[in-house]
Structure 1
């Protein structure tokens, strides 16, 4: 360790969010250091976050991280609901898993956090990121020149100072970075408590390797989650009535005993117990995710909520992906400062929606009614819970998460996919081989923008493309930070023959007009894709508006 080394970014917290952020920043050409206060060898081996939803998987794929996770995780595509030992049809709560569309990742990958972190640490090691454990952040100060942060080595009792341009707090719900920066953490904690317990079990429940909701009047909406390596998680509400049975407090034996009770009338036997926890339910969000233009917050440092919808790690990963490219391109002098400022506003809007949603489902999962409910109090709360989950399906999968208009996301004459939304992952055809490729596969670079030209009617498109070439010289104007793709409805033995001219960038065929229709560009047009894969602008095949857009976004 050399404290004289100056980094572009120092990341406080070596959990999955901090590790993922560091991995991206390094790949995007910045220098980064990660400092984790715990010794991971002594920290809980299992437990914590388990579910990675489709949009999160797409992001991990774009970063070349998905394959080792697919080798270890459990791909869950089905769900089941039981009440009084009988299967409820149609099911409730997790049924959205069975109807995931418009993505290669039509499942939820269940992988315990221990494995996710190890994969990310291995990736960091392979690309040479500085990573230190047992290093606790105890102070930092920032000015117009940068940040000086002080760390205490718990193993040697030494103190180290680090200089960096920016400091990111990914240090959990009790974040020192957030508190020291004076950022309010708004929200509250309820009296409700839940228990989660992982292990290898035997059961006579008929369907045991699907995501399950067991509707109990005593233990809430019990979670049954199949895990990696043949393990299972059981989660249930630890009500005051249950707690009164154990005046000495909760032990592993208590957690196991009540897990067995929660599953009745099914029989459950624990062959192994890997991890368990008791925690209070609450929802909190930082007033801002950035401070002094030098300090940023990600993951639990910026927001906390229940595990009811299994969104915690997914939301943190969305934070990291949103921040990484904006921070890296800003440091490299590629983007205007206003682009980096969109991180806090975009992520706060998404997290606020999650927190409002989480408040309702956490209460309903505890077999209680939210304050707003004015219906029959003798009705079944789990029916309302199922309805809420169904309505929030696109948000749960992450495929429907979107951002409003801002400096990046521009409303225009383009009437297809809205700016700030994820584009359809349509299937296109590779020239020559005829191999099918998906849209996200061809925009597989999270460090550049993509300008995608949909030709429309090819007889008109040639004239438009020739004019577009005259309007702008992509190499001179955009300096390698914008890639071009042409999507043609006409096919040929080569891209040149399909168009009668060379395409802008690589060309792919839209043989059945599906891509044009899904993007709302039957007559042709241009869509600009942000480095994180979202649509940020669109319009006609004209160079003027494209030039104007990038002139305002890029330096």
Structure 2
């Protein structure tokens, strides 16, 4: 087929799936790629179906941080229910501290120290509007029918022919693209068309979720709450946005026998029974669902170097730990900046292989937690349980949830050291390590001394940040001078056409100008750490300093000691995967 054929639409990336993962992926590409790059996103469901209330509800702190660096979190915060309180009730209605969702009360070291609860309906509208501001609209109702990957097409060439169909008119058309992203859910047409195995299993356990406006005598209804029901497992009670509430419970085989036809009336009846000894009535029902619990992972997240899977399309699990949308956000953000750089020719195509290499181990960790959590929530001990066979599943659940706390919040999610993006550094230089989240810290701006935060100063615009923790300039002056001299021989590090920015953080009280404070021209944007708290949080000695590279997504790339050798270490890091302007090709 000829790409000049007017019946063929040519785009850089086709995103299949208009849920949060697809929208955020398309948004990043539209935001980061200059004209004439073109992004297309399709969804097979008409917008009326997409706007149902149910599905995912919770974003944990790391997801909120990532969306904040994309400029989206404030809009979510305007509408969300910010949940900082939890409670756990035993079968008699007595509080049992330290169980259930109690880990949520200890999600610290972040501005977003709460569960951001906002139903998917509202999140998607915010994401659609943000995407529209960058010139891309969600195309509905269009379904993916077929994918053909062309051979002998070079990197960044139009390698994929996608056949799509208007599900109303049944008219088919061809979209030719460089990359295709399947963010189209657990029944992914992209995954099925590419014949990617979906390994795992689905259990016989069924769960029910009901959203609505309620009246109740439960003492603390506007919380993330667990009720240890002897008949309905570990019941979820989640305060929602706009004054609503979600009730979720295990629908056991025994309970199922009473319902030849399980409908909304039955779901409400069971929800009321699940929260005993408390009373509950629904003033209105917004949404309900029943589903089977299982865990599956796609055999590959990237095939033929041009077709990606993200979100539920490449991994599904229960909603027990409320990780579905959060894990999808991590997929989207990890992939978004990498694909942006490759499409612009700023990074080597091999960078795209780090998407699966980084995300797969974290998805597997989630699946392992989820298997235990989902069984415990249905009052069953984990499959490989080696403890007391008579242990109370509710007590064990509290232990497992606490162990998984930093993973669940996202603040402890890390990428293993490798030879490309997370380069191991000298031990003892800092308390943070490559592959870990870069902690958000409070800093001060020059002249005005107004407070700011590191993540505010490092937005995710597909650029790396060389962060110079310069310490106390009186003590680090000679190291700074040596570093400055070596950087002069590597001017490409300051070439604005390369995706690299500089930030200098000085652990001093600010003077009338940055120049006078540091005794010369600093590197890039200057910020002050007057009380040494930022250096302390990163474990950087103010008398020695350090150079830390932050990836566009806010994870640490590498760390090196401040001094003459730092510039070489920084340069070596970027040369592994970026195609840099101003670097000698000899």
> TM bucket by the smaller chain?
over 0.9
Q: In the alignment, what sits opposite 1:263? A: 275
Task: Say if 2:289 is the partner of 1:288.
Answer: no
Q: In the alignment, what sits opposite 1:22? A: 26
Shift in alpha-carbon separation, 1:477–1:506, aligned structure 2, 3 A: closer
Q: In the alignment, what sits opposite 1:551? A: 575
CA contact (8 A) 1:402 1:420 kept: yes
Alignment partner of 1:532 out of 527, 540, 553: 553
Once residues 74 and 125 of structure 1 are traced to their aligned partners in structure 2, the CA distance between those partners, rounded to angstroms, is 25
Question: Counterparts in 2 of 1:509-520, with a 5 A limit?
Answer: 509-520=528-539
Task: Say if 2:376 is the partner of 1:364.
Answer: yes
Once residues 373 and 318 of structure 1 are traced to their aligned partners in structure 2, the CA distance between those partners, rounded to angstroms, is 30
Shift of 1:153: 0.8
Task: Say if 2:196 is the partner of 1:172.
Answer: no
Task: Say if 2:294 is the partner of 1:275.
Answer: no
Q: In the alignment, what sits opposite 1:424? A: 439
Name the SS for the 2:294 alignment partner. strand
Name the SS for the 1:41 alignment partner. helix
Instruction: Give structure 2 stretches of 5+ with no counterpart.
Output: 1-5, 580-586
Q: In the alignment, what sits opposite 2:317? A: 305
Q: In the alignment, what sits opposite 1:397? A: 409
Once residues 421 and 220 of structure 1 are traced to their aligned partners in structure 2, the CA distance between those partners, rounded to angstroms, is 35
Q: In the alignment, what sits opposite 2:197? A: 184
CA contact (8 A) 1:446 1:533 kept: no
Once residues 195 and 279 of structure 2 are traced to their aligned partners in structure 1, the CA distance between those partners, rounded to angstroms, is 50
Once residues 331 and 440 of structure 1 are traced to their aligned partners in structure 2, the CA distance between those partners, rounded to angstroms, is 25
Alignment partner of 1:64 out of 71, 78, 88: 71
Question: Counterparts in 2 of 1:151-550, with a 5 A limit?
Answer: 151-246=164-259, 248-406=260-418, 407-413=420-426, 414-473=429-488, 476-477=492-493, 479-480=495-496, 481-491=499-509, 492-522=511-541, 523-541=544-562, 542-550=566-574
Instruction: Give structure 1 stretches of 5+ with no counterpart.
Output: none
Q: In the alignment, what sits opposite 2:12? A: 8
Q: In the alignment, what sits opposite 1:114? A: 121
Alignment RMSD, CA only?
1.4
Once residues 379 and 550 of structure 1 are traced to their aligned partners in structure 2, the CA distance between those partners, rounded to angstroms, is 52
Shift of 1:475: 5.4
CA contact (8 A) 1:80 1:87 kept: no
Name the SS for the 2:437 alignment partner. coil
CA contact (8 A) 2:9 2:174 kept: no
Shift in alpha-carbon separation, 1:18–1:264, aligned structure 2, 3 A: same
Shift of 1:105: 0.4
Shift of 1:521: 1.7
Once residues 93 and 453 of structure 2 are traced to their aligned partners in structure 1, the CA distance between those partners, rounded to angstroms, is 41
Shift in alpha-carbon separation, 1:450–1:3, aligned structure 2, 3 A: farther
CA contact (8 A) 2:90 2:96 kept: no
Q: In the alignment, what sits opposite 2:3? A: none
Cα deviation digits, residues 419-468 of structure 1 (max 9, x gap): 11101212112222222222211112331000011113423423322332
Alignment partner of 2:98 out of 86, 91, 97: 91
Shift in alpha-carbon separation, 1:149–1:133, aligned structure 2, 3 A: same
Q: In the alignment, what sits opposite 2:583? A: none
Cα deviation digits, residues 147-184 of structure 1 (max 9, x gap): 11000111111001001100000011011111121211
Shift in alpha-carbon separation, 1:141–1:478, aligned structure 2, 3 A: farther
The runs of at least 4 aligned residues of structure 1 exceeding 4 Å deviation read: none
Once residues 527 and 111 of structure 1 are traced to their aligned partners in structure 2, the CA distance between those partners, rounded to angstroms, is 35
Shift in alpha-carbon separation, 1:531–1:415, aligned structure 2, 3 A: same
Comparing 474-483 with 545-554, greater Cα deviation is found at 474-483
CA contact (8 A) 1:462 1:501 kept: no
CA contact (8 A) 2:317 2:370 kept: yes
Equivalent pairs counted in the alignment come to 553
CA contact (8 A) 2:52 2:121 kept: yes
CA contact (8 A) 2:377 2:397 kept: yes
* TM-score scaled by length of structure 2: 0.92
Once residues 7 and 248 of structure 2 are traced to their aligned partners in structure 1, the CA distance between those partners, rounded to angstroms, is 44
* TM-score scaled by length of structure 1: 0.97
Once residues 433 and 445 of structure 1 are traced to their aligned partners in structure 2, the CA distance between those partners, rounded to angstroms, is 25
Shift of 1:87: 3.1
Shift of 1:322: 0.4
